[in-house]
Amino acid sequence: MPTIKDIAARLGVSIGTVSKALHSAPDISESLKKTILETAVEMGYKTRGNFSREDRRTVLFIENMAYEKESDFGYDIVLGFKKSAAQEHFEVTVIPVTAEYQRQNSYDALLLKNRFCGAFLLGFSLEDPWMEQLKTTSTPTVLFDNLVMHNPHVGSVGTDPFEGIDMAVEHLVQNGHEKIAFLNGSVGSLISDQRMRAYLNSMYEHHLPIDPDLAVYGYYVADAARYHVPGFLEKGATAILCGNDLIASGVIECCRQMGYRVPEDISVIGFDDIPLATTLSPPLTTVRQDRSQLGKCGLYILHAMMNGIPMSRTLLRPSLAIRESVAGAKPRLPLRRTNDPDSILNVNPALYSQFVTHKSV
Amino acid sequence: MPTIKDIAARLGVSIGTVSKALHSAPDISESLKKTILETAVEMGYKTRGNFSREDRRTVLFIENMAYEKESDFGYDIVLGFKKSAAQEHFEVTVIPVTAEYQRQNSYDALLLKNRFCGAFLLGFSLEDPWMEQLKTTSTPTVLFDNLVMHNPHVGSVGTDPFEGIDMAVEHLVQNGHEKIAFLNGSVGSLISDQRMRAYLNSMYEHHLPIDPDLAVYGYYVADAARYHVPGFLEKGATAILCGNDLIASGVIECCRQMGYRVPEDISVIGFDDIPLATTLSPPLTTVRQDRSQLGKCGLYILHAMMNGIPMSRTLLRPSLAIRESVAGAKPRLPLRRTNDPDSILNVNPALYSQFVTHKSV
């Protein structure tokens, strides 16, 4: 690894000047500091993480995820991360970022300038400007619910979608359901794809037929329901599994507007267990992601990566929060009959290729 | 959680006697100690892990995996675990176990008696007697290359098979190979299934046809090669990807006996990168599992679980150790022609159901 001396030699400045830039001293011009930081990043200079207490500086970057109120999705994740950090003697700085902020700040230079030895990123999607830079960063970085392939310095944490969806399907099967529809979130996101695969797997393992009309992508918003629920009901679905709790709230509302009762006529299950789930009518049965544990896990995975371990994916166990939105199946004939025998496919995970749209970075 | 007092009350013995049993004091009969330990386990008593230094006792159970010599598969895993343990101030006891030992010792009682707060298990398969007990244990436990469903106290670590196999296929494709055979390990093991899925996925994503005759399960031994390599060659395969390095050593030997040169006529890639890989002729290109990092990772995951985090699966990044067993493809016509157009399927991961045989615990 290059030293401060190497950087100084490359730029023809003094060692003291490089040191000032790396420590963001006030008595150095912004443009010189920028040049020095960019050169340091380019040469592969890293803050030496010997992990003495003053060097255990971590940062939590948050993009497009609410986290300030207790009811916000990110609140418990941030709190969990901070709790584990305190226990393991790490400092935490929380920085909310926008796409514009990302465009203005090089990821590595920002970390270097602030002497952050590791970062936990919440709410980032494939479209975020920093995702490209994450392919090559050498600073230990953990992404929540997203994945960067082939870079051993970027790990991922999330909740096991296969176990979670399987718990939901199993619960529905125990209640006599067979025609189980799945209204997923957006096309092209990693977690949507995983949840779709998980649904197909679980239906297959429960020997239930998979109907392409009952396994669809929408968006992660309540409003997605009205475009798909009428079709599900026409096809005779007795239960609707949803890509998240917001979608489930829309499904319940949509069923009600169409004159169906939840759970007496239609059972509904969500995913996430956000605070909204308990306030719905009926309270929502949902696959629970323990967000506090996810935050804690983020710190432990980051700690391992700061010790040089090339973590790829880490998944936590989900649980099923059983409330009142599932009841025994009341079979209903499809309102619309089809003559096409292929419209209900007794398929296996073959359907993956048809449904799975996401390509990892 | 029940206290020592509760256990004493249940059995009608003194608190001092229970304490003696839990600390394996010498002045208590074996039969009374056994009764007390079993009652403690049944009542859900746990060693209080407040993780003061004297309570940070972990154990590494090893079944069916050599680890004592530097060339043994388990050697670096054990060493890595111990290194991280030393760094994080955990004690480690290594205990090799047999199936008979497992039958004679209840898993939970053994941990309790020895005041172990967490365990890392190497080399266990679904047939091991303790696997049934792992479904219900509440002691933080990490399994290497195996998985127990639905118990948040049992986590899993391994190497990402999808990224590993994809690196191997990509390397072969870069060298002009298209007819890539896969000689996998044993049917019904978790890692065999994952590697088969990974192969099917990667072939599909590289737009290469999957021929069921070129994607087969054997055993994790060198001898598996002679049953399958002749068929691969007849079908015109130019490269053979192997489920592990032992299989690859057999494949190289078998090719040689049949008059084919590796890599000039046939390219071969292994999986694991055990010390044997470098001593083969030619030295073997193989997907590398970093066993030292896997051991280190085991400790960090166990640490997280001892702090109550319900870890499920954790995967590390593989790398590709490029040596001399891959060369540019030299296309050869199949020796045996078939008239059945379906014998080469332009399939997608549909083939999963046909190939994937493992059911998790």
Write down the mean pLDDT value for chain A. 87
Partner residues linked to A287 by β-bridges: A271, A320
Do residue B84 and residue A307 have CB atoms under 8 angstroms apart?
A: yes
In a domain, A329, yes or no: yes
Global model pTM greater than 0.90 = no
* CA B105/CA B89 separation, integer angstroms: 28
Do residue A300 and residue B296 have CB atoms under 8 angstroms apart?
A: no
Do residue A163 and residue B149 have CB atoms under 8 angstroms apart?
A: yes
Q: Which of A36-40, A124-128, A302-306 has the lowest mean pLDDT?
A: A36-40
* CA A119/CA A104 separation, integer angstroms: 18
Quote the minimal CA–CA distance from B151 to chain A in Å: 8
Do residue B311 and residue A309 have CB atoms under 8 angstroms apart?
A: no
pLDDT value at residue B343: 36
Please report which confidence band the pLDDT of residue A11 belongs to, taking 50, 70 and 90 as the band edges: confident
In a domain, A72, yes or no: no
* Span A126-182, pLDDT tens digits: 889 999 999 999 999 999 999 898 899 999 999 999 999 999 999 999 999 999 999
Q: Mean pLDDT across the stretch B266-281?
A: 95
pLDDT value at residue B51: 47
Find chain A residues with C-beta within 8 A of B304's C-beta.
Answer: 296-297, 300-301
* CA A252/CA A325 separation, integer angstroms: 9
Please report which confidence band the pLDDT of residue B334 belongs to, taking 50, 70 and 90 as the band edges: low
pLDDT value at residue A48: 57
In a domain, B301, yes or no: no
Q: Mean pLDDT across the stretch A117-124?
A: 96
DSSP assignment of B118-185 equals EEEEES--TTSTHHHHHTT--S-EEEES---TT-TTEEEEEE-HHHHHHHHHHHHHHTT---EEEEEE
Quote the minimal CA–CA distance from A209 to chain B in Å: 14
Quote the minimal CA–CA distance from A70 to chain B in Å: 21
Please report which confidence band the pLDDT of residue A47 belongs to, taking 50, 70 and 90 as the band edges: low
Residue ranges making up the domain that contains A345:
161-288+319-355
Find the residue in B nearest to A167 (Cα).
B150
Residue B333: Cβ within 10 Å count = 7
User: What's A104-157 look like in SS3?
Assistant: HCCHHHHHHHCCCCEEEEECCCCCCCHHHHHCCCCCCEEEECCCCCCCCCEEEE
Do A206 and A336 lie in one domain? The reply is yes
* Span A172-219, pLDDT tens digits: 999 999 999 999 998 878 889 889 989 998 998 899 988 999 999 998
**Number of Cβ pairs < 8 A linking chain A and chain B:** 105
What's A226's domain CATH number? 3.40.50.2300
Q: Mean pLDDT across the stretch B244-272?
A: 96
In a domain, B188, yes or no: yes
More confident residue, A50 or A107: A107
In a domain, B25, yes or no: yes
Residues 6+ apart with CB under 8 A from A315: A157, A158, A159, A160, B311, B312, B313, B314
Do residue A316 and residue B296 have CB atoms under 8 angstroms apart?
A: no
Do B171 and B25 lie in one domain? The reply is no
Sheet containing A141-144: order of strands: A91-96, A57-62, A118-122, A141-144, A154-159, A311-316, B311-316, B154-159, B141-144, B118-122, B57-62, B91-96
* CA A116/CA A105 separation, integer angstroms: 14
Find the residue in B nearest to A313 (Cα).
B315
* Span B71-107, pLDDT tens digits: 889 999 999 999 999 999 999 999 999 999 999 999 9
Do residue A314 and residue B311 have CB atoms under 8 angstroms apart?
A: yes
Write down the mean pLDDT value for chain B. 87
What's A28's domain CATH number? 1.10.260.40
* Span B140-174, pLDDT tens digits: 999 999 989 889 999 999 999 999 999 999 999 99
In a domain, A66, yes or no: no
pLDDT at position B329 over 80: yes
Q: Side chain identity at B203, as an amino acid letter? A: M
Q: Mean pLDDT across the stretch B28-56?
A: 73
Using CA of residue B68, residue B74, residue B79, residue B85, what is the dihedral sign?
negative
Instruction: Measure Cα distances from B335 to A295, B144, B235 in Å.
Output: 57, 42, 6
Quote the minimal CA–CA distance from A344 to chain B in Å: 16
Which of B163, B204, B293 lies at the smallest CB-CB distance from A150? B163
* CA A75/CA A66 separation, integer angstroms: 7
* Span B306-324, pLDDT tens digits: 999 999 999 999 999 999 9
Q: Give the total number of structural domains in chain A.
A: 2
Do B197 and B324 lie in one domain? The reply is yes
Cα–Cα–Cα angle for B194, A140, A290, rounded to 5 degrees: 65
Find chain B residues with C-beta within 8 A of A303's C-beta.
Answer: 300
DSSP assignment of B204-255 equals HHTT--B-GGGEEEE-SSGGGHHHHHHHHHHTT-SEEEESSHHHHHHHHHHH
Quote the minimal CA–CA distance from A312 to chain B in Å: 5
Find chain A residues with C-beta within 8 A of B314's C-beta.
Answer: 301, 311, 313-315
Cβ atoms of A312 and A155 closer than 8 Å: yes
Find chain B residues with C-beta within 8 A of A149's C-beta.
Answer: 163
Cβ atoms of B106 and B41 closer than 8 Å: yes
CA B130 to chain centroid, in Å, comes to 16
pLDDT at position B53 over 80: no
Partner residues linked to B269 by β-bridges: B241, B285
In a domain, A7, yes or no: yes
Quote the minimal CA–CA distance from A311 to chain B in Å: 4
Q: Mean pLDDT across the stretch A5-27?
A: 84
More confident residue, A3 or B132: B132
Is this prediction's ipTM beyond 0.85? no
Find the residue in A nearest to B305 (Cα).
A297
Q: How far apart are the first and last CA of chain B?
A: 27
pLDDT value at residue A354: 43
Cβ atoms of A313 and A298 closer than 8 Å: no
Interior/surface letters B152-163, b for 16+ CB within 10 angstroms, e for the rest: bbbbbbbbbbbb
Find chain A residues with C-beta within 8 A of B204's C-beta.
Answer: 353
Burial of A335 (0-12, 13-18, 19+ CB in 10 A): exposed
In a domain, B143, yes or no: no
> Residues of A near B (CB-CB distance < 8 A)?
84, 87, 149-150, 152, 160, 163, 204, 290, 293, 296-297, 300-301, 303-304, 307-317, 319, 348-350, 352-353
Please report which confidence band the pLDDT of residue B37 belongs to, taking 50, 70 and 90 as the band edges: confident
Do B329 and B191 lie in one domain? The reply is yes
Collapsed DSSP state (helix, strand, coil) of residue A180: strand
